[in-house]
Structure 1
Amino acid sequence: MPKYMLIMRGTDESNAAMMANIDEMMTTTRQFIEDMFKAGVYVAAEGLDDPSLGVVVDFSGEAPVVTDGPYGETKELFGGFFLLDVASKEEAVEWAKRVPAARGSKIEVRRVPGEDEVPQDSGEFVKEGASRESDGQS
């Protein structure tokens, strides 16, 4: 089955609303994860730390430039994700509609390409695959 990532994107306002009700949000999120697990679609889920604690490495110029967060003009910030193993984009969207999110948040649904969709003859891909096999991760 294909994997889909449900990317949680929030604004300052939606993040503040979520934090104001953090206990309720955590309870409903744990239940949502349990529902995904019971349905056999759960792969992973993680939230991210406050954007002010992050950095951006910008490759626009000749040398990478590191800038401390928050990121100025950004209207929406990536706040975490759910990774699902589902049959279709439509099924992923149905799960996305159930994400416990604060008003003003958005959930972006993106397919994770399978290994068979990456150019297998790339030298780096071959080395990475061999490394995984020797580590028992394949």
Structure 2
Amino acid sequence: MRVMVLVKATEDSERGLMPTAELLEAMGQFNEELVKAGIMKDADGLKPSSAGKRVAFDGLGRTVIDGPFAETKELVAGFWLWEVKDMDEAVAWVKRCPNPMPGPSEIEIRPLYEMEDFE
């Protein structure tokens, strides 16, 4: 089962506050564990939404919207792409993760569609 693990943005991440050296080291160790376990397929952090754009679709029309975007709690600051046996395994790994932000934060786990979902 493939899952995307989404690190939700916070006011700090939207301000571009970089993680401490300690957090970077802890996350690096966690990522190494994921790789050694054969779980992690890809991962990266995202720049604040102020560096991004959205394209809104309405029929044939396209509107480009410059960041930053409202509702910080709905934004994503980073992601992992994992291969796990089931959602329980994904949750167990997330519970081992260092807190990715200096304060309260959330990580969301979403399964990806597989070919058998369309059969």
Normalising by structure 1, what TM-score? 0.73
How do 1:95-110 residues align onto structure 2 when only pairs under 5 Å count? 95-100=93-98, 101-102=100-101, 103-110=103-110
Percent identity at matched positions?
32
Note the residue ranges of structure 1 that are not aligned, 5 or more in a row: 120-138
How do 1:6-85 residues align onto structure 2 when only pairs under 5 Å count? 6-13=5-12, 15=13, 19=17, 21-60=19-58, 63-71=61-69, 73-76=70-73, 77-85=75-83
Q: Is the alpha carbon distance of 1:49 and 1:20 closer, same or farther for their aligned partners in structure 2, counting shifts above 3 Å?
A: closer
Name the structure 2 match of 1:122: none
Partner Cα separation in structure 1 for residue 71 and residue 111 of structure 2: 24
For the pair shown, which has the larger CA radius of gyration, 1 or 2? 1
Name the structure 2 match of 1:116: 116
Post-superposition offset of 1:29? 1.3
Partner Cα separation in structure 2 for residue 69 and residue 17 of structure 1: 12
Q: Per the alignment, in what secondary structure is the counterpart of residue 27 of structure 2?
A: helix
Q: What residue identity is the alignment partner of 2:51?
A: L
Q: What residue identity is the alignment partner of 2:45?
A: G
How many residues align? The count is 116
Normalising by structure 2, what TM-score? 0.84
Q: What residue identity is the alignment partner of 1:4?
A: V
> Quick check: which one's strand share is greater?
2
Cα contact 2:15–2:48 (8 A) shared by 1: no
Q: Is the alpha carbon distance of 1:27 and 1:19 closer, same or farther for their aligned partners in structure 2, counting shifts above 3 Å?
A: farther
Post-superposition offset of 1:61? 6.6
Note the residue ranges of structure 2 that are not aligned, 5 or more in a row: none
Q: What residue identity is the alignment partner of 2:83?
A: D
